[in-house]
């Protein structure tokens, strides 16, 4: 009777361990497939992000336009400084 009880306990433990291993194996399989789909989505995103870069010609055009804008702003700032100084000098003389 004692040997039969030990055999039954070993069988039950074996069945439970087998079931746990089966569940873990299935979870690993799901993780693998989820990882593959996630990798595929990331690859598609990389393609979208790196789809088109600015060409050297386009970049040089934009830089030249920004240089023109900077020069015009500098001229306006010089004129504004002159007008400002002229006004403050006129105000001092008027006092």
Q: Where are the domains of the chain?
A: 1-52, 53-95
Rounded to whole angstroms, the Cα distance separating 4 from 13 reads: 14
39 to 2, 13, 29, 45: CA distances (angstroms): 55, 39, 15, 10
Residues of the chain with pLDDT under 70: 1, 46-51, 80-95
pLDDT of residue 51: 60
pTM reported for the whole predicted model:
0.39
pLDDT of residue 37: 81
Q: Which three-class secondary structure state does DSSP give residue 52?
A: coil
> What stretch of H or E contains 36?
helix 2-49
């Amino acid at each position: 009777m004692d040997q039969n009880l030990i055999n039954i306990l070993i069988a039950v433990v074996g069945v439970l361990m087998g079931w746990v291993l089966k569940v873990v194996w299935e979870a690993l399989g799901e993780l693998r497939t989820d990882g593959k789909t996630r990798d595929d989505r990331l690859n598609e995103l990389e393609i979208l992000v790196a789809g088109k870069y600015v060409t050297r010609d386009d970049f040089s055009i934009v830089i030249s336009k920004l240089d023109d804008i900077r020069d015009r702003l500098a001229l306006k700032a010089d004129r504004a400084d002159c007008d400002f100084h002229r006004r403050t000098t006129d105000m001092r003389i008027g006092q």
